[in-house]
Chains A and B, each alone.
Chain A
């Protein structure tokens, strides 16, 4: 296992379309996080899972956003009816339950045109 992987790396979509991103965490990590990052800014927290349970969601996560982590393994983040303001880098991270370090994937760059 070489780390957190995200797919796709890049996604260009038309406004109004739905998109789905996938994250495969480090295999023994129970916690999985989604962050969003715009150019020149630090990542902003979206949501976090412990195993399959979604335990925290940011107010940034509007009703158009939904995340799942079936069986506590990989996770998906879906954005419905995309808007230009959704253009950003979407980052996934994972960590062990009792440690505080998070390891990030390479991100998915979303461009809404």
Chain B
């Protein structure tokens, strides 16, 4: 059973378009991370959100943590080909007490020039 569900699973858009990726769960998480992964490489951490309702911006990327800390979203403005990759959300359930990180199913993004 997957604790975190991501949608959409695949996304192909034109350069310059906006997009939103969702990460949903019925469980509460103490924090949630977003990673970007390229083929054959390990996931690279983009951001961590820890407070319900928190919004963080990283250049053209905006991350939001749901008020109830059960869901998160990643919004990309004016997508560029360099944004292509697999986007993963991962949640930690324990409050820093050693629990594993649960990963979402992933969203594969392709930005067409």
B41 near A42 with CB under 8 A, answer: no
Does B43 sit at the interface, judged by CB under 8 A?
A: yes
Instruction: Determine the residue in chain A with the shortest Cβ distance to B89.
Output: A42
Interface string of B61-102 (1 = CB under 8 A from A): 000000000000000000000000000101010001011111
A22-67 residues with Cβ-Cβ distance < 8 A to B are 31, 33, 35, 40-45, 48, 50, 55-56, 58
B interface residues, tally (CB under 8 Å): 29
Does B110 sit at the interface, judged by CB under 8 A?
A: no
Given A100-B48, A102-B45, A103-B45, 15 further pairs, Cβ under 8 A:
A4-B42, A6-B42, A35-B103, A40-B108, A42-B88, A43-B103, A44-B103, A55-B98, A56-B99, A58-B100, A100-B30, A100-B96, A104-B35, A104-B43, A107-B41
Which residues of B are interface residues toward A (Cβ below 8 A)?
Answer: 2, 4, 6, 30-31, 33, 35, 40-45, 48, 50, 88, 90, 92, 96, 98-106, 108
Which residues of A are interface residues toward B (Cβ below 8 A)?
Answer: 4, 6, 31, 33, 35, 40-45, 48, 50, 55-56, 58, 89, 91, 93, 97-107, 109
